[in-house]
Structure 1
């Protein structure tokens, strides 16, 4: 046995039995996701050690009381944000209690009065709250800027003496505020947008519900995009069935952009028109119409909502980019810096990446609490890491991870945060963890083209390229002005599906190719038996990367199945030998 002073955090899930009875599989899956994405990383980051877990709770030891409280606050604040869009009866919420005292350690378990008190204190905490003992409160009073409410002395079950308890106030609390937090002003200037109620042009009062439902669904879908500030439904529906001056409405609601539309039913068809207007100059930025057969009005509503929600943010961003290029302000706000950094990132050159790094760093300097900017700094640094555009790859990778930790702590409901976490885990060949984050990103924003295309990539790595092709093509439909690299993803998926002609066609959409894409094309032609084309692309490979070796190339890929590695290897060997039959062992070795 070992006895030492330690801080103990006891956490327990509220309503566990009720949730398990209502949806056992779903509750277990969601709890597991919270553990993987939030709770375990928070414990690790704050130097905690999980001693014991039960179905609905855990005991965690910390060497520092401050670390224990920081961890508890982070968990509860982030769980509150996660639950914001979850119905009350399906929320997973925790009570947390913290105590410090002498703990007995034996056989990887802990015992003693200090542990018992922590467990009893947890039971008196509010749902979603934190309860601490006087010993803990005394130690953090001058170290953490927290609201601590004295609950007085309480009698705890099986504890003979009364224990003085305190409640930590979590409302508006942040543990990582800058020293001059009181003078810091937010400089994120997101484009604001209002969706006015769609007009029912059908002359059919029964279609009014469709027009209103479509408007509400579009507002909800756009609200998932963290780069937009969307005016609430309550504000926009004030103008239902009223003749309005768009510029006055925009000024009154503080909106830069307006969306308006109409619904018209004719026979067995319904037509929806929509347009996006820049209220500052009355310019029509974008318009479209959707003409559908009236088989299932709710399916049409979902389809049109998805199309508008996928297309409209890109049009807003394009308009913002045009404005930036025209004005080139000397001191851009955080949002504008982040937007310009994204544009440079998508160009995909070493010089553009360097400029993107400078701009995204400026965005964070202007607003350290801007989660979206931290996520994109990880993405931009990750691009430099992948392409070797950094002096110290290990240091750059550590920065990527640190930025994602910050972004996740600030806002784990940002689809970009989870999208980039999925990409990072793919690069680490941690495909199971990548799937958790990818699914979370999809649930947060199912119409985001970058998330959708990444789903196709991940399925290709997992050995399901036919499904991957469908997702990549969906991303292309969602964003007809998609980045050119989408064609590269599609080509790789077709190759993995043994669809060589389609793969070649996809790669040929690229205006320029690197040696990796030429290698895939060489393998395609190797399998097709086109010796001349295969040799031509191999020459491109060696011209662009004189040190190219098959094994080194394969080591950069992330296939889950060995057969996919061998399939690519054999295609390259065929290309190298200029023959379509299976290579001999000697030829294979020579090609390497």
Structure 2
């Protein structure tokens, strides 16, 4: 359970305003405790205050042995000292006649923080809930909760394990503070942003964006001398760290040109490089940095190998701009934190992980976060036997790359669908199109087509948009949504060809080319394109699924089952899960395993975006399994949406091999009646 979820469950700081809770724990800055607006004197012991801060931020009871290892470096009686520290904490946070907030059960210790305001948890909950919906006064209040570093003044040489935890918490909360400041600056009154920009700059002195915004603000206010001085000082700072600073000069030049009333008008022929930014912005892709996985034991080539594996898998998918490992290693070696590195590299997403070995087990944790907001999109822990390390790493690397891709795509779709259509970049138009496309509805498919066409107008070289457009034409032909199926099949082929010319190493365009060739009854060529897609990127799930789909219809049914299982294994939350399940069901029907097939078909039909052909598959599979009443009920539901739907509608889309088609026609006499 996270700090945020515990805060929500216990009624702690999430949604609790300062002063509203009888007990307030202030961890953002020096530790402070107040009860009923009265400050409580804290014990002088650094360990007592460290223990209170740690337990307040920990999401669940902690074993006593872990607390002893965290805070004591080999005393004679660590458990005795722990008991003494807990007694001091009770004196601070308990208020008789209430029951004790320090809870001990079995051999663990935790805090009960109901009706408590915990500032760090409040900020975490706000960021995770989405800052874009909060009014400015609430953003100001949250930013004002930061009175300094997290648990300021509690570093101690004799508590190395605690210091490691403390540094990690400080990095995380510093990132959340920057996200708050960014939101305030982006949407606040331009005339009042300077103090917030100065806070942001102090926290992130190598973040190009804060310097650019600060220079723009100074220019807008006519403070050109201050802007020039800031530019020169910042350039020297960046040069000392061997960082790129030319964008700062360009930003200052552009800001002066827009703000200075006596500057001559610059004609388009003499435009500065900044004039090209709108075009470049329209071609932007989401970017991601995978920071070297930390090894809790020592610097590890194994941990670096896993990092490399994830980077390579993501890069081969060709859907994101992936920062090279050489860059992230260099930043790690300069002791740049992952959060600071993400902002320094100006990436949209950050992958961070850790690696540990203990008692013959491997422990790997991975986290994906949005850089701008600090919001955690996905996190997972893997536990494997050390002796299975090589196999485990291959499995984990594959799983991590797929979950990252799915989560990033989902986040980008959410962002794109909330933006006004006229303001979309090519990347955003593509993801807005995918938001419509995954609904598998005729009207939604038309909207998706319009979005992909918009993306290609903005960036004709965008291969993934060509692939998306080809897929919409394929759907028109496959679903029977177009009056002229042959024409839609040719459009699917033509747009897939354009995608190959844009980037013949993008697995997505090879996959849609395979679909287009299948519509042309060129199964061998279609399978070749799918094999190419998988060779280019073994983690490209649509390639595996479509390979399964083609084989389940007229190829090798066992190969179809294997490919379907592999697709679901590496992408358990895929938007095309209904299709993976359906492919397995069709393959099982061809193998005459009717009971199994009906179960898988029902699972496919139960998915929220399963289209009518999948619903029909479920009805026919139930009929073959002698569940005729369920089959007839399923067909009745289909005809509410498509009254003329029958077995020929199904077979014209699915193109089953003769034996399979005969089997379906035979059962349809009973199901369609």
The answer to whether structure 1 residue 400 and structure 2 residue 492 are counterparts is yes
- Please tell me whether the aligned partners of residues 367 and 378 of structure 2 are also in contact (alpha carbons under 8 angstroms): yes
- Cα drift, residue 272 of structure 1: 0.8
Cα distance, 1:539–1:321 mapped onto 2, change above 3 Å:
closer
Kindly provide the CA deviation profile for residues 435-488 of structure 1, in whole angstroms up to 9, marking residues without a partner as x.
Answer: 100101111122222222212212212342233223223322322322253333
Kindly provide the CA deviation profile for residues 390-427 of structure 1, in whole angstroms up to 9, marking residues without a partner as x.
Answer: 35444433322221111111211001001111112222
Matched residue, 2:578: 485
Matched residue, 2:288: 193
The answer to whether structure 1 residue 503 and structure 2 residue 597 are counterparts is yes
Kindly provide the CA deviation profile for residues 489-533 of structure 1, in whole angstroms up to 9, marking residues without a partner as x.
Answer: 333233223222232223333346655344433432333333433
Cα distance, 1:466–1:379 mapped onto 2, change above 3 Å:
same
Q: How does 1:62-81 map to 2 (within 5 A)?
A: none
Distance 2:659 2:355 in 1: 52
Q: Match for 2:443 among 351, 369, 375?
A: 351
Cα distance, 1:463–1:407 mapped onto 2, change above 3 Å:
closer
- Cα drift, residue 576 of structure 1: 5.9
Q: Match for 2:633 among 519, 536, 543?
A: 536
Q: Match for 1:220 among 286, 309, 312?
A: 312
- Please tell me whether the aligned partners of residues 417 and 435 of structure 2 are also in contact (alpha carbons under 8 angstroms): no
Q: Match for 2:434 among 321, 342, 360?
A: 342
The answer to whether structure 1 residue 267 and structure 2 residue 359 are counterparts is yes
Distance 1:313 1:194 in 2: 13
1:413 aligned counterpart, secondary structure: coil
Cα distance, 1:378–1:294 mapped onto 2, change above 3 Å:
same
Structure 2: gaps (5+ residues):
1-275
Distance 1:326 1:551 in 2: 40
Structure 1-normalised TM-score?
0.61
The answer to whether structure 1 residue 567 and structure 2 residue 567 are counterparts is no
Distance 2:450 2:625 in 1: 45
Cα distance, 1:519–1:371 mapped onto 2, change above 3 Å:
closer
- Please tell me whether the aligned partners of residues 291 and 338 of structure 2 are also in contact (alpha carbons under 8 angstroms): no
Q: How does 1:10-21 map to 2 (within 5 A)?
A: none
Distance 1:548 1:554 in 2: 11
Distance 1:540 1:329 in 2: 35
Matched residue, 1:409: 501
Distance 1:190 1:182 in 2: 14
How many residues are treated as equivalent by the alignment?
393
- Please tell me whether the aligned partners of residues 514 and 529 of structure 2 are also in contact (alpha carbons under 8 angstroms): yes
1:459 aligned counterpart, secondary structure: helix
Cα distance, 1:383–1:238 mapped onto 2, change above 3 Å:
same
Distance 1:468 1:281 in 2: 42
Distance 1:246 1:518 in 2: 47
Cα distance, 1:385–1:535 mapped onto 2, change above 3 Å:
closer
Matched residue, 1:439: 531
Matched residue, 1:367: 459
- Cα drift, residue 350 of structure 1: 1.6
- Cα drift, residue 552 of structure 1: 5.6
- Cα drift, residue 539 of structure 1: 4.2
Structure 2-normalised TM-score?
0.54
Cα distance, 1:326–1:184 mapped onto 2, change above 3 Å:
closer
Cα distance, 1:383–1:282 mapped onto 2, change above 3 Å:
same
Q: How does 1:104-123 map to 2 (within 5 A)?
A: none
**Larger of the two Rg values belongs to structure:** 2
Q: How does 1:314-333 map to 2 (within 5 A)?
A: 314-328=406-420, 330-333=422-425
Cα distance, 1:278–1:452 mapped onto 2, change above 3 Å:
same
RMSD: 2.7
The answer to whether structure 1 residue 554 and structure 2 residue 651 are counterparts is yes
Kindly provide the CA deviation profile for residues 217-252 of structure 1, in whole angstroms up to 9, marking residues without a partner as x.
Answer: 111111012220000111011133554344431232
- Cα drift, residue 384 of structure 1: 2.0
Matched residue, 2:327: 235
1:347 aligned counterpart, secondary structure: coil
Distance 1:382 1:563 in 2: 25
Distance 1:532 1:442 in 2: 41
- Please tell me whether the aligned partners of residues 285 and 427 of structure 2 are also in contact (alpha carbons under 8 angstroms): yes
Structure 1: gaps (5+ residues):
1-180, 578-592
2:424 aligned counterpart, secondary structure: coil
- Please tell me whether the aligned partners of residues 425 and 458 of structure 2 are also in contact (alpha carbons under 8 angstroms): yes
Q: Match for 2:513 among 421, 442, 455?
A: 421
Cα distance, 1:390–1:557 mapped onto 2, change above 3 Å:
closer
- Please tell me whether the aligned partners of residues 456 and 467 of structure 1 are also in contact (alpha carbons under 8 angstroms): yes
- Cα drift, residue 185 of structure 1: 4.6
Greater alpha carbon shift after TM alignment, 456-465 vs 515-524:
515-524
Q: How does 1:8-407 map to 2 (within 5 A)?
A: 185=280, 187-203=282-298, 208-240=300-332, 243-328=335-420, 330-407=422-499
Distance 1:491 1:257 in 2: 37
- Please tell me whether the aligned partners of residues 474 and 515 of structure 2 are also in contact (alpha carbons under 8 angstroms): no
- Cα drift, residue 277 of structure 1: 1.7
Kindly provide the CA deviation profile for residues 233-274 of structure 1, in whole angstroms up to 9, marking residues without a partner as x.
Answer: 110111335543444312322212111111101122111111
Distance 1:493 1:304 in 2: 28
- Cα drift, residue 326 of structure 1: 4.3
Kindly provide the CA deviation profile for residues 313-361 of structure 1, in whole angstroms up to 9, marking residues without a partner as x.
Answer: 1111222223334444631110110011011111011221121111111
- Cα drift, residue 573 of structure 1: 3.6
Distance 2:482 2:649 in 1: 20
Distance 2:535 2:670 in 1: 42
Distance 1:329 1:522 in 2: 40
Kindly provide the CA deviation profile for residues 55-95 of structure 1, in whole angstroms up to 9, marking residues without a partner as x.
Answer: xxxxxxxxxxxxxxxxxxxxxxxxxxxxxxxxxxxxxxxxx
- Cα drift, residue 574 of structure 1: 5.2
Distance 2:419 2:379 in 1: 25
Distance 2:361 2:402 in 1: 23
- Cα drift, residue 201 of structure 1: 1.2
Cα distance, 1:380–1:294 mapped onto 2, change above 3 Å:
same
